[in-house]
Structure 1
C-alpha cells in the first residue's frame, strides 16, 4: 500500500539522514582508523553542512505552502539545539584538556583525556536521542499533512 508522502516531510527526513549518516555511519566506518580527529572532524563537518542546508531551506522564499515552511523551520529550530550541544561538548573538552595539561605523566594524561572526551560527548548523545524521538514524531505528522503546534504561521 503506497501512502502519499507530503513534501513537508523532507525537512525531517533530512534531519534523520544527518543523524544516521554523520553520527552513526561515518563514525562506525572510520572507527578502525587511529586518527580520532578524522572521525570527529568528518562527522562534525558533514553534520554542520547538512544543518546549514536545512537553515537555508527554512528561510527560503521558494517553499510552496505554509505547512512546508513550518516543518522546515521546526527542523531548523531543532538542529540549532544540536549545534548548541556541539559547542557545549567542545567547551567541556577544552576545559578538560586545559586541566589535564597539569598532569605530569604523559601516558596518564592521554588516558584521562580519553575518558574525559567520552563524558564530553554526553550532551551531543542526549540531544541525538531526543532528536531521533522528536523528529520521528514530526516526520509522521508531516507525512499526514499536520501543521506543527508550535510553528503555525
Structure 2
C-alpha cells in the first residue's frame, strides 16, 4: 500500500464538471494498493496518518496532528502509484491490485480514518477525476508498507 500525503490549504475533486469532494485545510491523500495488501496495511497507514504531526504549533514547529487543527482529508484512489516504469516509455500497471479488491480496501481505509474521528471526503473509485489543491509548505510525506 502506498499513500502520498500532501498538506493542503484547500483542495477539491471534480468529476464531469461537478465537485464531489472538497476540504478547506488538511490532507490530500493519493492512495494505491498492490497485490497482498489488506487489513494490516490499511490499519498501519490509517493509524500513521491520523497521528501524523505536520501542522505548526504556537512555536511554529510541526508538532500538531490533523485532529488538533480541525483539518479534513480528501482521499483519492490512484492505482498509478504502482506504475512500473523500468522498461520503455509506457508504464505498466500489473503490480496494482485488482480493481474489485482495491475498491474494497480503499473504502475500508477511508472508514478507518473516519473511525479516528476525522472528516474524510473522497473522489469516486475508478472515475476520471480532476484534483486541485493548494499544497501547504509544501509538505509531502509518502507511506509505503513494502518498507515495513
TM-score by length of 2: 0.32
Larger helix proportion of the pair: 1
TM-score (norm 1): 0.31
